[in-house]
Structure 1
Amino acid sequence: MATSVERGILWNAGFLVVHPEHGGFTDLFSLLFFKQICRLRFVECSDGTTLEFPDRWVLFVSIVAQKIFLLFKRPMAWTGSMLGFALNLLPENGGLLGFLRNLLRGQIITPNEKSPRFQTVVSLLDGRTDLGDYTGSGNSMAHASLSAMASKLVYENSAVIRDVINNQWQQMEFVEFLNCWNEPRQSASTQAVIFRDKLPDSRLIVVAFRGTQLFDAGDWCTDVDLSWYEMPPMGRVHGGFLKALGVDPCCDSVRPTVPIDHITHPLAYYAIRDRLRALLKDHENARFILTGHSMGGALAVLFPAVLVLDKQEDLLERLAGVYTFGQPRVGDRRFGDHMERVIFNKNGSAPEYYRFVYCNDMVPRLPRLHFKHFGTCVYYNSLYQPQITRKELDENYFSLRNVIPLYLNAAWELVRGVFIGPVIGKEYREGWIQLIYRAFGLVVPVLPPHGLRDYVNSTKLGPIDLRNSKLT
């Protein structure tokens, strides 16, 4: 196991790195009964780190969850692959009749995951791609709606993304799709898309990070991971999300997780930083926004934090806003205060940060140990009614008393899914795949609320002026 010296952590700040693949039952048992956690095989931390029982219990649950995800890593990936293949098989062959005809002829067309016609589970749950009446006016709700669609689109393959942006989003121009290296995952699993509008009065650049893949165990491990680094003066920052950007903490600055010239894929932060600088030079009035769903939202928030540490003031001045959907927590209270002070509440034309949270979505409440919410939270209930708040999300969410409301709401959302199309409009009609997904919420009620359909609906059906809304 790497030491703190090997990791470059040579200052007096704290750190806690969890290695769920190490350790066994004895270490888990010890975690519940002993405050000194540094001697446990699955924990690497600064000397003298101790945790009280409530925090040790949260860490215990996190490690057990990660071990379960790692145990089912291959079955989850296989299930996702087979499900995508099966759900694309009929559309690829022209429907059921076309499939039977091709079957009799021995000419079955097999789905190609790199095809511009291939649909991921995300698009099968919600196939909408229309931007509506986006005009690039700079209205915060217009940017939020654009961000929601971009956060959904980035889950598709590069061919689909390019086709939608260039051919369906007439106002937009595709720039680049990035497969970036994630050192802890040892794969190019950090993905982002960059595009810009073609409107002469706007010149907006959008960077959308891909979020948690439904059948990717590694992504879910990152979401529930409790690893953190204390980075003066920022406070504690989530280690897994930080390294997904391709940066390693080093005192009050950052460095690449691996030598850039030793890998075949770019590192997300450095590739996007350099691409943005080149694009912003083309138009002196151009600005950019960052967005993402789930883990992608976490990366969108951390990107400007790394810009601060990297002393990229020229880029920060061109940041127009950050819009995240179902974003997990990325730092502690000190980190939030620092971000608001140096970026989002600074004097002059400060960028906006809106964190959209839908109803019973569990992911924005994670991780639980040391991490806190900050910024302006736009909370939508199951009727898509918005509430603007800077308060911590409901702390009773994980209590046993909240279980019955969770299941009742899952049942209501299933009923709403059946009738929302006829009542509101065909744009909101839910297909049978989405309804099955909602029915699954009757078993695991916290999973369907994390889907992007409800976030897209929220930005469309909650037409409030975010900028002028009063905080509650």
Structure 2
Amino acid sequence: MDQIIMSANDGGAPTPISPDTFEELTHYFKYASSAYSPVCLRPNGNTLVLQFGSQVTDIQGFIARDDHRRELIVALRGSASVADALLDASVILVPFLTPGVKLPPKARVHAGFLAAWDSVAVQITTALATQRQLHPGHRLVTVGHSLGGALATLAAVSLLQIFPVSPVMDQTRTYSYGAPRAGNQVFAEYVNAEFGARAFRVVHTNDGVPTIIPTSLGYHHHGVEYWQHLDPPSPSTTVRCAAGGEDPFCSASIPSGGVNPAHATYLGITVPTPFCL
């Protein structure tokens, strides 16, 4: 695993990632892309634990178990309906109110994203509680693309508090791809402090979704951003940015163009390609 070699105040140029990190980012994107599939019987070739969803918010996804890597992976789908669009548009910043979770008093998150997470949180945590009893050494991983990436961050924050890490388990990790800003600076700093190098936020070239919710509304990205700044995707065209989340040398340097072609492809994989066999 690569370690963070820059801080938010380093001011240096972003550095290319290793082939191992590139392979890791690609591996977890396959789960994020598969979350768009209505049914995914073998997520990334692994065991399907639960296919979850909410009729109210139209959020869906699955929990997979990888016994080789000893992981329980929660994959959340990105926007795919009118209901999802309405959630995306609910940009008011609100306190993080989820049972069993307590954040710093001034931490605020996107109201629509929080409503989406809360609509499936009980299904997910109930299934994970059972799986953790059966597989106590498996770490928790959350993944998602677009809206799903923002939800993956909220999920990771929740699961980290709800499920304490045992001595034989690696701590929770989270991987987001093309995700919009999910909360304010206090929330971002909390994520950075709790996850550090275990939070991976990937942006493809000029994808406009990660910056579609502007900082002028009080929002702030968490780190660590991995920016594929050129095509085709490779370790040499993907850089690790400053740990603070709003590196001026990375994707934040490009004004948002909204949903564009770059948002539909990550690491050479077109969304929603299923990896379900």
Fold match by TM threshold 0.5 = yes
Do the aligned partners of 1:288 and 1:320 also contact (CA within 8 Å) in 2?
A: yes
Question: Residue 86 of structure 2 corresponds to which residue in structure 1?
Answer: 221
Distance of 2:38 and 2:195 partners within structure 1:
33
The code of the aligned residue for 1:398 comes to: P
Aligned residue in 2 for 1:178: 52
Other-structure match for 2:255 = 398
1:33 alignment partner in structure 2: none
Q: Deviation string for 1:140-181 (max 9, x for gaps)?
A: 5444222111111111112xx11x54xxx55x1111111125
Gaps of 5+ in 2: 1-19, 97-103, 270-277
Q: Using the alignment, how far apart are the partners of 1:301 and 1:355 within structure 2?
A: 9
Q: CA-to-partner distance for each residue in 1:78-99, whole Å, 9 max, x for gaps?
A: xxxxxxxxxxxxxxxxxxxxxx
2:57 equivalent to 1:205: no
Contact 1:226 1:238 in 2 (8 A): yes
Residues in 1 aligned to 2:49 and 2:200: alpha-carbon distance in whole angstroms: 25
Greater relative contact order (CA < 8 Å, ≥ 6 in sequence): 2
Q: Which SS does the other structure have where 2:183 is aligned?
A: coil
1:323–1:277 distance in 2 versus 1, CA, 3 Å: same
Distance between the aligned counterparts of 1:381 and 1:314, measured in 2?
A: 35
Inter-partner Cα distance in structure 1 for 2:87 and 2:179? 12
Report the Cα distance in structure 2 between the residues aligned to 1:312 and 1:287, rounded to whole angstroms: 10
| 1:311 positional shift | 5.0
Per-residue deviation, residues 275-325 of structure 1 (Å, max 9, x unmatched): 1121122123211211000000000001132346x654348x754411110
The equivalences for 1:2-401 within 5 A come to 140-158=21-39, 161-162=40-41, 164-165=42-43, 169-170=44-45, 172-181=46-55, 187-199=56-68, 202-213=69-80, 216-230=81-95, 232-233=104-105, 235-246=107-118, 267-307=119-159, 311-314=162-165, 319-341=171-193, 343-345=194-196, 352-368=198-214, 369-383=217-231, 384=233, 385-390=237-242, 391-392=247-248, 393-395=250-252, 397-398=254-255
Match of 1:448 among 243, 248, 261: 261
Distance 2:82 2:117 in 1: 18
Change (3 A) 1:234 1:140: farther
Length-normalised TM-score, structure 2: 0.74
Q: What is the CA–CA distance in structure 1 between the aligned matches of 2:87 and 2:157, rounded to whole Å?
A: 19
Partner amino acid, structure 2, of 1:323: Y
CA distance in 2, matches of 1:389, 1:152: 24
Shift of the 307–235 alpha-carbon distance from structure 1 to 2, 3 Å rule, reads same
Hey, what's the Cα distance between the residues in 2 that align with 1:339 and 1:381? Answer: 24
Deviation at 1:268, TM superposition (A): 1.1
**How many residues were matched structurally?**
232
- Structure 1 residues 249-293: Cα deviation after superposition (integer angstroms, max 9, x where no partner): xxxxxxxxxxxxxxxxxx411111121121122123211211000
The structure having more radius of gyration, on CA atoms, is 1
- CA RMSD of the aligned region, Å? 2.8
CA distance in 2, matches of 1:284, 1:230: 32
Q: Distance in 2 between matches of 1:359 and 1:300?
A: 21
For 1:338 and 1:188, the matched residues in 2 are separated by 27
